[in-house]
Amino acid sequence: MTMLIKNIKKLVQTESDPVTNRAGKEMSVLNTIENAFLYIKDGKIVDFGKMAEQPQGELQDAVVIDATGKMVFPAFCDSHTHLVYPASREIEYVDKIKGLSYEEIAKRGGGILNSAKKMAEISEDELYEDAMKRLDEITAYGTGAVEIKSGYGLTTETELKMLRVIKRLKENSPLSIKATFLGAHSIPAEYRGRQTDYVDVVINEMIPQVAAEELADYIDVFCDRGFFTVEDTERILMAGLKYGMIPKIHANELDYSGGIQAGVKYGALSVDHLEYTGEEEIKALLNSDTMPTILPGAAFFLGMVYAPARKMIDAGLPVAMASDFNPGSSPSGNMQLILSMASILYRLTPEEAINAVTLNSAYAMGVSDELGSIAIGKRANLFITKDIPTIEYMPYYYGTNKVDRIILNGKIVV
């Protein structure tokens, strides 16, 4: 199966010498080719360049798409979501409007515990069908790869149920999916006051069973004030690492929790949220391979302080951005909106913002060797825009869908 996309107004994020991510000043680098072609074979990008240099010959049987007036981008990589969940939580959101904080809602048994209650009741099939619909929805907005976490189960049985659903999604969806075990997302009510006992369950029961069924690529802990301590986090990460689960940490959303440093210490692929990031945290990250990942949707929806993205980039760090799609703190998986928020709320230039939601977020979910940019040999996961005047228009014209078609593994899916 071959495909030729021709007359592309602008081919965006091309790489002749692919890098794994872009940090600091390099985040402003965004290579483009005007009036371009892109040639796809067997699901991979095999050639691209100026229309004038377009190869002839072997293209006879190719599906041809004329992209006159349109741009082509690598599909978004959404490196942090909780999109397998049993029910929406809009009533809690009204409590938030009335002034209750995220932590107050959690203390009253709302929040993650509310989802956990419903998770015990819902069937695996229903969970799967609902999540598949959400995958279709984010695909239509240009997402081509997504990481999905467990963490709304909080018992061995229900955590396994969630992870089995993610496994089925991996097998049946055209999106590239990574699974993360997040048993330590919240402390179940029956363990209140004896949190360490729950950590023991995570370590001694959950992790070995998740590993035995090979259900998780990564392991996560919500390391923050009122949730899991640095000590809990380190114990869990050590246990996960024994089974080859690489850490991706929820850190420093509610306080200077030490979560960033704990993540770096255990070689986390990413540390995520980062509202409370100061000099110490930046220093720790500068000496690491850990991708700092900001989740603008959650900060926006909860009305929190914004992570110091500019300061981080100016200090030489890379930054990725992801949706955090979940029913409590970020009920949207629209990565075009995240791209706009990157510029509007965090003052990233359009070039920096595009790097944050493509190449750097690919790195944050461990797929930047095959996704996140337009490079020969990479998987053909990309989108064709509607007619748009400039690249800058993508973050600027916020709130509408500017994606016309999406191609995953070389096939048109939307």
Q: What's the CA gap between 107 and 98, in Å, rounded?
A: 16
Stretch binding ligand NIG (CB under 6 A), from 8-16, 22-30, 283-291, 320-328: 320-328
253 binds, among ligand NIG, Fe ion, none (CB under 5 to 8 A by kind): ligand NIG
Considering only residues 207-236, where is the footprint of ligand NIG by CB under 6 A? 222
By CB under 6 A, residue 326 contacts ligand NIG: yes
Considering only residues 32-91, where is the footprint of ligand NIG by CB under 6 A? 82
329 binds, among ligand NIG, Fe ion, none (CB under 5 to 8 A by kind): ligand NIG
Min separation Cβ 293 and Fe ion, Å: 10
Stretch binding ligand NIG (CB under 6 A), from 168-176, 276-284, 307-315, 322-330: 322-330
By CB under 5 A, residue 78 contacts Fe ion: no
Min separation Cβ 309 and ligand NIG, Å: 17
Min separation Cβ 253 and ligand NIG, Å: 5
By CB under 5 A, residue 232 contacts Fe ion: no
Nearer to ligand NIG, 88 or 204 (CB): 88
Instruction: 263-269: list long-range contacts, CB under 8 Å, 24+ apart.
Output: 263/223, 263/290, 264/288, 264/290, 265/234, 266/234, 266/237, 266/238, 266/241, 267/241, 268/237, 269/218, 269/363, 269/364, 269/365, 269/366
By CB under 5 A, residue 253 contacts Fe ion: no
Stretch binding ligand NIG (CB under 6 A), from 5-13, 111-119, 308-316, 332-340: 111-119
Residues in the interface with Fe ion (CB under 5 A) total 1
Choice from 130, 147, 253, 324 touching Fe ion (CB under 5 A): 324
Nearer to ligand NIG, 217 or 324 (CB): 324
Stretch binding ligand NIG (CB under 6 A), from 12-20, 277-285, 325-333, 360-368: 325-333
Name the pairing type of β-strands 382-387 and 403-408.
Answer: antiparallel
Nearer to ligand NIG, 217 or 224 (CB): 224
Min separation Cβ 130 and ligand NIG, Å: 15
112 binds, among Fe ion, ligand NIG, none (CB under 5 to 8 A by kind): ligand NIG
By CB under 5 A, residue 275 contacts Fe ion: no
Choice from 6, 134, 161, 250 touching ligand NIG (CB under 6 A): 250
Choice from 296, 327, 333, 350 touching ligand NIG (CB under 6 A): 327
Burial (0-12, 13-18, 19+ Cβ within 10 Å), 52: exposed
Nearer to Fe ion, 130 or 324 (CB): 324
Residues in the interface with ligand NIG (CB under 6 A) total 13
Considering only residues 265-304, where is the footprint of ligand NIG by CB under 6 A? 298
Residues that bind Fe ion (CB under 5 A): 324
Residues that bind ligand NIG (CB under 6 A): 82, 111-112, 115, 222, 250, 253, 298, 324, 326-329
